[in-house]
Chains A and B, each alone.
Chain A
Amino acid sequence: MRKSSSKSLISLISDWKILKLKFWNYRDVAAGGREQPFNFRRMWRLTVLLTAGVALVPLIAIIIVDYQMTQRSIESENLMRTARLVSNTHRSISFFFTQRKAALDFVAQEYSFETLNEPGMLQNILKNLKISFGGITDIDLFGPQGNQRNYVGPYELLGKNYSDQHWYQEVCKRGAYISDVFLGFRKVPHIVIAIKRTLPNGLFFILRTTLDTSVFEGFLTGLELGGKSDIFMINREGILQTSSLYYGKIFEKSSLFVPGYARRTRVLKKDDPRTGQIIIGYRYIPETPFILMLVQNRRELLKTWYKTRMELILFLTVSVILIVGVVIWMATYLVNKIFQADQARVATLHQVEYSNKMASIGRLAAGVAHEVNNPLAIINEKAGLIKDLITFSKKYEGDEKLHQLVDSILASVQRAGAITKRLLSFSRYPDISLQPIELKQLIEEVLTFFEKEAQYRSILISLDAAEDMPVIKSDRGKLQEIFLNLFNNACLAMEYGGHLDIRIRVKDENSILVTVTDDGCGMPREDLERIFEPFFSTRTDRGGTGLGLSLTANFLRKLGGDISVESDPGKGTTFTVTLPVKTQIKDGKVACEFY
């Protein structure tokens, strides 16, 4: 579940354009088909998954263990408490019966039938029992045939025959008997405790006392259980002996089952279709027909656990959100930093490579220029001398042909000299050096390189410069390279008969705009976003290095300028170069400044 959520989070972020994480869709073009040294997306995923995993797995494990342990301890605590309550209540009830039974037994053993049969005697005994124990309603004495011989109590029962009553038969059999709750002749719920005393002559009498069930019920109602708990007593047939809150009224059959006999207190868990899971604690009260039942609703008992559980889950949720958030933020931040560092590294590498290349070309050009210039200078002087001779001597006066020939040689030498000078000026400054520059003149110089090509392909070049252009202070070599690149790109984009328009305008007092517009093939939008990236080229199959525009943009940044591009596929492209009138060097050292 965590994995799927992190997956969806990843896709969410990748779709989330606002973040504009450049590294997300970055493809290292320079790496080509080889394995990429840095796969930033994978690095990000790995960082997020590993860090989140390391942080979340132990947290979740601890929470699960804690969850289970707490749940188990609360459950067992509940069972224990139920058992304890049942045991304590059982002890009270048991004591209640035992005490009264013992008192009655004492009376039966102590007094003879005759004494007990004396009027006033039983009255006295009842009075004393009531004072000492309470809960006793009446007391009566029976002969062997079940006839009531003496009765003291609030009911008119004297003289009735009980021989067919269940309790009478039981006590005759067992010698002592505690009955269920029943109505009897008096039609009031009561419990009977009866003791049989067998005399040495074989005759016997029975002493009976009845107990008021209200005292007895007082034990149960006084417990203040709360929380949908129910305590009541049933007899062994499952008939309710006290009223229950949920399982019926007194003398009704309990809707619960009768639990199996056990000598000790037992606690069971059962499903109740009406109230859900219930916990039943029960105890068979010895020497009585009663079973003490305590029924508790499990859900109610676990209320404290539910609160704890809620807190645990809340804690876990907040922690997970916090950890995942921090991990994602951290991974994004770090990978972005690495990406930026890598970009800077690649850019530097490319620039060094390019600088080296340019320096080599420069050295080569300078060498060639030097070697060519010396003989060229000699040709120049010799031809000049011939010209001087024929000009200053009268001998060749009027020989137009000779003049033309010499002029032609000198013109060719001048042309060759111009070419070598141009070559030299391109290789001269590897670092930035500022000098006053007439921009129009510089662009015209650069355009001379394209004159021949423009002629061959019928490309119309127009240069439109505003009047009163200020002389700018910038780097000649870099500007030459910048415009050479732009014009070269424009020429490559155009077919036979294209138009290359160059406009120079003053933007404001601090900057100048140069627009280079061609009506060539143009570029699609997705390429436009990337053309200033190093090694992005659409002409790799035709020898393009993809360095030109990246370096152009780089040089411009160094000169404090800027470049932007607009393109319409099929209609043409416009590059707009902004140049400061006075260049402030941002980075890179200044080799020298000329004023």
Chain B
Amino acid sequence: MRVLLIDDEKELVSTLAERLSFRGIEADWVCSGKEALNKIEEQVYDVAVVDIKMPQIGGIQLKRMIADKYPDMKFIFMTGHGSEEDFLAGSEEAGEEFYLVKPVAIEELVKKMKQALDE
């Protein structure tokens, strides 16, 4: 399973990638939607873990931009902001199951990834 982590908090994604590697999951990370678009061109990912609120290209927008091209790619949304709009948008795009509010427990994230791939 190859995973792409996308969040504007570099410290968060880099650490998360390192932790996932301990669990045998290959994870790359980028800090913006734009970088993510480039990264996806280079490499095929099974799951994208993406923050809903990012500068320029947000998580939802990113999904819409690449969903047609990569229909098999699964999305898990994260947010630090539990506002209603975020919740509605996130749960509509990915389902309530794949919407996580930070801070996220690593085991839960891994579980969700596997669950997403199983679908």
Determine whether the beta carbon of B16 is less than 8 Å from that of A381: yes
Selected from B9, B82, B84, B105, the residue in CB contact (under 8 A) with A378 is B9
A392 to B18, CA, bound (A): 12
Given known A370-B81, A374-B102, contact A392–B11 (CB-CB < 8 A) = no
In the complex, B71 has a CB within 8 A of chain A: no
B87 near A376 with CB under 8 A, answer no
A374 touches B12 (CB 8 A): yes
CB under 8 Å from chain A, chain B span 87-119: 87-88, 91, 96, 101-106
Q: Which residue, of B11, B19, B103, has the highest number of chain A Cβ atoms within 10 A?
A: B103
**Interchain CB contact under 8 A, B83 and A381:** no
Q: Are A425 and B82 in contact (CB under 8 A)?
A: yes
The answer to whether B88 touches A592, judged by C-beta atoms less than 8 angstroms apart, is: yes
Q: How far is the CB of A586 from chain B (nearest CB, A)?
A: 23
Interfacial residues of chain A within 250-280, with CB under 8 A of chain B in the complex: none
* Distance of B23 from chain A, by nearest CB (Å): 8
| Cβ–Cβ contact B102 & A388, under 8 A | no
Are B15 and A378 in contact, CB atoms less than 8 angstroms apart?
Answer: yes
Contact A373 B19 (CB under 8 A): no
Interface residues of A in 359-406 (CB under 8 A from B): 363, 366, 369-371, 373-374, 376-382, 384-385, 388, 391-392
Are A373 and B80 interface neighbours, CB within 8 A? yes
Partner pick for A366 among B11, B12, B15, B82, CB 8 A cutoff: B82
How far does the alpha carbon of A341 sit from the alpha carbon of B80 in the complex, in Å?
44
A417 CB-CB contact with B under 8 Å: yes
| B interface: dominant SS | helix
- Please report the total number of A residues contacting B with Cβ < 8 Å: 34
Which of B16, B84, B88 has its CB near the most chain A CB atoms (within 10 A)? B84
Contacts A378-B12, A378-B15, A381-B16: A366 and B83 contacting too (C-beta < 8 A)?
A: yes
Q: Is the CB of B88 within 8 A of A385?
A: no
Which chain A residue lies CB-closest to B107? A384
Of A377, A378, A430, most B-chain CB atoms within 10 Å: A377
Q: Is the CB of A369 within 8 A of B15?
A: no
CB distance from B42 to the nearest CB of A (A): 25
Q: Given A373-B101, A374-B102, A413-B103, do A429 and B84 touch, yes or no (CB 8 Å)?
A: yes
Greatest chain B CB density within 10 A among A374, A391, A414, A416 is at A374
Q: Which residues of A contact B105 (CB under 8 A)?
A: 380, 414
- Which residues of the other chain, A, contact B87 by a CB distance below 8 angstroms? 428
**Neighbouring B residues of A427 by C-beta, 8 Å:** 82-84
- In Å, the complex CA distance between A376 and B102 comes to 8
Interface string of A415-448 (1 = CB under 8 A from B): 0110011011101111000000000000000000
Q: A378-B15, A429-B84 are in contact. Are A392 and B22 (CB under 8 A)?
A: yes
Query: How far apart sit A59 and B82, CA to CA, in the bound complex (Å)?
Result: 73
The 8 A CB mask of B1-19 against A (1 = contact, 0 = none) is: 0000000010110011011
Whether B102 contacts A594 by the Cβ 8 Å rule is no
Total interface residues on B, using CB and 8 Å?
A: 24
Q: Are A369 and B18 in contact (CB under 8 A)?
A: no
User: In the complex the two chains form, what is the Cα distance from A381 to B105 in whole Å?
Assistant: 9
Q: Which residues of A contact B22 (CB under 8 A)?
A: 388, 391-392
* A384:B15 contact, CB within 8 angstroms: yes
| Binary interface encoding of chain B residues 62-86 relative to chain A, with 1 for a CB under 8 A from any of its CBs, else 0 | 0000000000000000001111100
Q: What CA separation (Å) do A423 and B88 show in the bound complex?
A: 17
In-complex Cβ contact of A421 among B9, B11, B16, B101 (8 A): B101
A391–B9 CA distance with the chains assembled, in angstroms:
25
Choice from A379, A392, A430 contacting B84 with Cβ under 8 Å = A430
Least Cβ–Cβ distance between B66 and chain A, in angstroms = 24
Residue of B nearest to A366 (CB): B83
**Which residues of B lie under 8 Å from residue A592 when comparing CB positions?**
88
Q: Considering residues B15, B87, B105, which has the most beta carbons from chain A within 10 angstroms of its beta carbon?
A: B15
Decide if A373 touches B102 in the complex (CB within 8 Å).
Answer: yes
CA distance A498 to B105 in the complex (A): 38
Minimum distance in angstroms from A459 CB to a CB of chain B? 30
In angstroms, how far is the closest chain B Cβ from the Cβ of A369? Answer: 6
A391 to B101, CA, bound (A): 26
Q: Using Cβ atoms and an 8 Å threshold, which residues of chain A touch B103? A: 373, 376-377, 379-381, 413-414, 416-417
Given contacts A424-B101, A594-B96, contact A382 B82 (CB under 8 A): no
How close is B40's CB to chain A, nearest CB, in angstroms?
23
- A377 near B82 (CB under 8 angstroms)? no
Lowest 7 CB-CB distances: which A-B pairs, in order? A424-B82, A373-B80, A380-B103, A377-B102, A370-B81, A381-B15, A377-B103
17 contacts between A and B (CB under 8 A): A366-B82, A369-B80, A373-B80, A373-B82, A374-B9, A374-B12, A376-B102, A376-B103, A377-B103, A381-B16, A384-B19, A388-B22, A392-B22, A414-B103, A417-B102, A428-B84, A430-B84
Residues of A within 8 A of B (CB): 363, 366, 369-371, 373-374, 376-382, 384-385, 388, 391-392, 413-414, 416-417, 420-421, 423-425, 427-430, 592, 594
Give 7 A-B pairs besides A366-B81, A381-B12 with Cβ atoms closer than 8 angstroms: A373-B80, A373-B82, A377-B102, A391-B22, A420-B101, A421-B101, A592-B88
